[in-house]
Chains A and B, each alone.
Chain A
Amino acid sequence: MTAPRPIRLTVNGVSYEAAVEPRTTLVDFLRQDLGLTGTHVGCEQGACGACTILLNGQAVRSCLMLAVQADGAEVMTVEGLGGRDGALHPLQQAFMEEHGLQCGFCTPGFLMSAYELLQQHPQPSDDEIKEALGGNLCRCTGYMAIMKSVRVAATKLRAASPAAAGTVEK
């Protein structure tokens, strides 16, 4: 049974069928089998958050999951944030403009954690931003510029979609 097992999943809106060895982690599957190298592998023990992706809309560590566990799931990676034409998502734009990154290694994880936050809280408080990003480590930028990037992106997203600003938070 260590033979490859068939899985089906959707990644960034594209359906895939693949055969994976059970011990393959989801992050290795995304990077090596699908060629989606935007998701970074950091600590491989769930501490750094660099490999954060969305699984059925929730931010999770893709190093702490097996690819076989993603069978039937809907996955979103950093490649799915921007437009197909290469246009940056407002979060990516804000990280660039507000110096929310330096080396960029941790950035995909921060973007995905922030994306889940803004989906649920279009107008997050600083405490909510800290809570959502507390599981992501950055070793060069420091967190103030990252917090500011998320605040700026939230403002832009609300302006672009006024309906979202009126969304009742759960």
Chain B
Amino acid sequence: MKPPRFEYAAPTTVAEAVLLLQEHESEAKILAGGQSLMPLLNMRLTRPGLLIDLGKVAELKYIRESDGGLAIGAMTTKRTVEDSAMVKSRYPLLHAATLLIGHAQIRNRGTVGGSLAHADPAAEYPALAVAVDAQLRAVGPKGERTMAAAEFYVSYLTTALEPTEILTEVRVPALAKDTGWSCAEVARRHGDFAMTGAVVTVQLGSDGRCAQSRIVLFGVGPTPLRAQAAEQVVIGQTPSEQLWAQAGQRVSEVIEEPLSDVHASAEYRRYLAQVLTRRALAEAAARARGAA
């Protein structure tokens, strides 16, 4: 239970970090907050030749509002997000999702970029990013590019990042007016990885019907899963318990093969996805009414 030997570099700028990645492409690994990577190292599930620690890259630590959204530097800790008064008042979905991540001691070290780039299928941030159409910015040897969250997640722990690219920023748009939200999950213990979760938004139109909805599940597939069939059940309809239940029944269609492990069977995860969708839709619609 001790990390294997590796070389270590602590660059102070993104440019320096990218150069290091280029030089050591196949054997290098980025170290952000380390709350996922350190257990993997301790258990020797990964053996990088070089760890590039971004801890001293000050330019990646910020939260600021611009263009009707939030721009968060990749090395911003979850604790900083959680404590931000601006996040709490104007991005309540992000605030709520943050509080579901690990325990306080993990959030004190864990970073926004680390969670997004690690791409654990049971993690909250990737699902949230897909649900709100977040944009992810990466910097590599050829410069920078921006990807939609939906394109960023490829498979288990696999993203669209090139081996020489570093995730530097996430842009989280503010929710549209009259939009309610919910981030619901079931975990054995608060702070543990969710067995299954759902990030849901519902926008109510002036006629009281659902104008828009997003339903994204996590913990049930290789990436966050957008349940478009379930969204279509909801859009254009008048909110009701029955409607939420109908939408819940449709989420199974996107779940191909949920994980089956000691925490939960595939069958149970499927069931949870249905229940959580129903509950999250109800909660999101209630919030939308409150905001209307």
Contacts and interface: CB of A to CB of B under 8 A. Distances in A.
Task: Specify whether A and B are partners.
Answer: yes
Interface of A: 1-2, 5, 21-23, 25, 28, 44-46, 49, 52, 55, 58-61, 63-66, 68-69, 71, 113, 116, 131-132, 134-135, 170
User: Chain B interface: which size bin?
Assistant: 20 to 34
A147 B83 CA distance: 24
Given A135-B104, A135-B105, A1 B34 contact: no
Given A22-B6, A65-B38, A59 B191 contact: no
A45 B190 contact: no
B81 to A, nearest CB: 14
A135 B2 contact: no
Interface in B169-190: 189-190
Given A23-B4, A45-B43, A58 B108 contact: yes
Interface string B96-118: 00000011111011000000000
B147 interface: no
Interface in B1-17: 1-10
The 3 closest A-B pairs by CB, nearest first: A135-B103, A22-B8, A1-B7
Nearest to A49: B105
Contacts of A45: 1, 39, 42-43
A65 B186 CA distance: 28
B103 A28 contact: no
Interface in B37-63: 38-39, 41-43, 50-51, 53, 55
B38 A64 contact: yes
A134 B104 contact: yes
B104 to A, nearest CB: 6
B59 to A, nearest CB: 17
Nearest to A44: B1
B35 interface: yes
Contact of B109 (A1, A23, A60): A60
B287 interface: no
A44 B43 CA distance: 8
B34 A135 contact: no
Contacts of A55: 108-109
A1 B2 CA distance: 18
Given A2-B5, A22-B6, A23-B5, A69 B105 contact: no
Nearest to B192: A47
A61 B190 contact: no
A63 B42 CA distance: 9
